[in-house]
Structure 1
Amino acid sequence: MKVYAFQVSETMRIAEMSRTYQSLHGLSTNITEILDEEIQIRQLTNSIVKTIAKDEAGLENIEVAQDEFGKLVVIGNKDFYFSLSHAGKWLICAVDTKPVGVYIEQVRSLSTKELSCVLSKREQQEMFIRCDNDSQRMLYFYNLWTLKESYFEAVGRKVPYSRDCYTVKTDDDDGSVRLETDQQDDYPTLFYRRYCLDPQYKLAVCASHTVFPASITMQSFSWRGA
């Protein structure tokens, strides 16, 4: 497994970074002027995945598309998996030979509504028991949120219920994580690791094994790979 981090420039528009990156790597540069930043991010991350797939797995001209659950996958290859996440100034890409999930969020002040939409009642109760003030509760929330989303990314299946229906259960001894619901759903036990990329962000990675990289690989948009 490898986890890559790309810092989004504050002075260069996403579409411009897409063109620069694709040009450097000999990829198609037929990006139109799209105002929707999320679409621009998607175009850029697709280009990044293609480059990493070539350098890490020797895969040429791969096709990235959504599967039946809406997750981006490499078509026709079961030995190369990736997960993408974007928040604020960071683009994160995790790659592995088995399903992997990554999620990053920028830490900011929260409303009660946001808390209740993401955390289950049990998680909220535990948060107020463990945390003495708003600052602690905010960090607790983002640790849980990123872990929960990275788990869903790694599992890769459609989530039938809202986020607040799931409770994250972790074991600090072996680094495992699983989900519990009020329903009789069977969710596998995975393993996780948190990385301190930026003090203003929370980042979690989930996988079916315990072999995580010791650190994140930092890359620039001028990176040409191996």
Structure 2
Amino acid sequence: MNMNALVWKRPVSLPPITQHEVHIWRVHLPLVPARYADLWQVLNEEERERARRFHFEHDRQCSVTSRGILRLLLAWYAAGEDGAELKPVSLNFRYNAYGKPELPGMRLAFNVTHSGAMILLAFSSLQPLGVDVEHMRAQSDLESLARHFFAPEECAALLALPAEQRVQAFYNCWTRKEAYIKARGLGLSLPLDSFTVSLKPGEPAALLACTDDKRTPADWSLFALDPGQEYAGALAVCPGPSPCVVRCWDWHDALF
């Protein structure tokens, strides 16, 4: 893995994606007000109605932004995939039994996550693919949360760390587990304690053990993402026989 790929870069124009790449886009909220109106125009009516149901303005803006930018980027990548020019608003998603969306007929996998003022969007022809971001908050009940959700080996590793490292380690574990679950596309039907991941700060992200998976831990690649101060992130992907390259991009208004 080329560590330079994990540096967030601000592209001058939309970059093409190659067969062995994963592109991660980082979006900071809030956007300038005019951009919400632009993104609203590429949503379908179901997505607009979903946004209207949110009580808080931040949640509405997050919904419009994440879905609107997802549509813009999918249309761009689709054009590079087969040369077809698609309108973002014309994309029709299909959902599996656990609610994970896909685009029929498109080889590109995608995944979206948000927390606090941060949205991450992941795209790749490598499948399956999952991404997660969490706003890190110091909590007095980290130990009880870990005992409830994590595997015993992960709890032991967490509690063996100095107190000052435990918040980072907890969110390392949480985001890596969420990214893996999202990649599997099984939602909450896959228990968080049915597999284990690395969590110690400074050590590489890795899937250490898994059950109920036709793939082995060696088939998976986990990457720690650094979305910004007070945030933790992770990517899970099955790259196949060739190594993948992760490229991290910062979204900005000049791209569209």
Which range, TM-score by smaller chain? 0.7 to 0.9
Q: Which residue of 1 aligns with 2:250?
A: 218
Cα deviation for residue 203 of structure 1 reads 0.8
Tell me the number of residue pairs that the alignment of Structure 1 and Structure 2 aligns. Answer: 210
Q: Which residue of 2 aligns with 1:107?
A: 136
State which drifts further: 81-90 or 51-60: 51-60
Alignment gaps of 5+ in structure 1: none
Aligned with 2:39 (options 21, 45, 62):
21
Distance verdict in 2 for CA 1:9–1:40, change over 3 Å: closer
CA displacement 1:144-173 (0-9 Å, x = unmatched):
111111111112234535323432259x99
Structure-2 separation of matches of 1:162 and 1:206 = 17
State which drifts further: 28-37 or 98-107: 28-37
CA displacement 1:192-214 (0-9 Å, x = unmatched):
21122212100111111231324
Equivalent pair of 2:198/2:204 in contact (CA under 8 Å):
no
Cα deviation for residue 187 of structure 1 reads 5.0
Aligned with 2:185 (options 147, 151, 156):
156
Output the amino acid matched with 2:30: S
- RMSD (Å), alpha carbons: 2.9
Structure-2 separation of matches of 1:73 and 1:106 = 26
Q: TM-score, normalised by structure 1?
A: 0.79
Aligned with 1:126 (options 151, 157, 176):
157
Q: Which residue of 2 aligns with 1:180?
A: 210
Q: Which residue of 1 aligns with 2:119?
A: 91
Higher helix share: 2
Q: TM-score, normalised by structure 2?
A: 0.70
Secondary structure, counterpart of 1:141 in structure 2: helix
Structure-1 separation of matches of 2:101 and 2:204 = 29
Instruction: Confirm or deny that 1:140 pairs with 2:169.
Output: yes
Aligned with 2:99 (options 70, 78, 96):
70
Aligned with 2:76 (options 55, 78, 81):
55
Alignment gaps of 5+ in structure 2: 1-21, 80-84
Distance verdict in 2 for CA 1:175–1:145, change over 3 Å: closer
Output the amino acid matched with 1:91: I
Distance verdict in 2 for CA 1:88–1:28, change over 3 Å: closer
Instruction: Confirm or deny that 1:194 pairs with 2:224.
Output: yes
Distance verdict in 2 for CA 1:62–1:161, change over 3 Å: closer
Structure-2 separation of matches of 1:62 and 1:147 = 29
Structure-2 separation of matches of 1:34 and 1:158 = 23
Equivalent pair of 2:224/2:234 in contact (CA under 8 Å):
yes
Structure-1 separation of matches of 2:64 and 2:28 = 16
Equivalent pair of 1:193/1:212 in contact (CA under 8 Å):
no
Structure-2 separation of matches of 1:39 and 1:187 = 38
Structure-1 separation of matches of 2:75 and 2:31 = 28
Aligned with 1:3 (options 24, 35, 60):
24
Distance verdict in 2 for CA 1:96–1:54, change over 3 Å: same
Higher RCO, Cα 8 Å, sep 6+: 2
Structure-2 separation of matches of 1:124 and 1:187 = 25
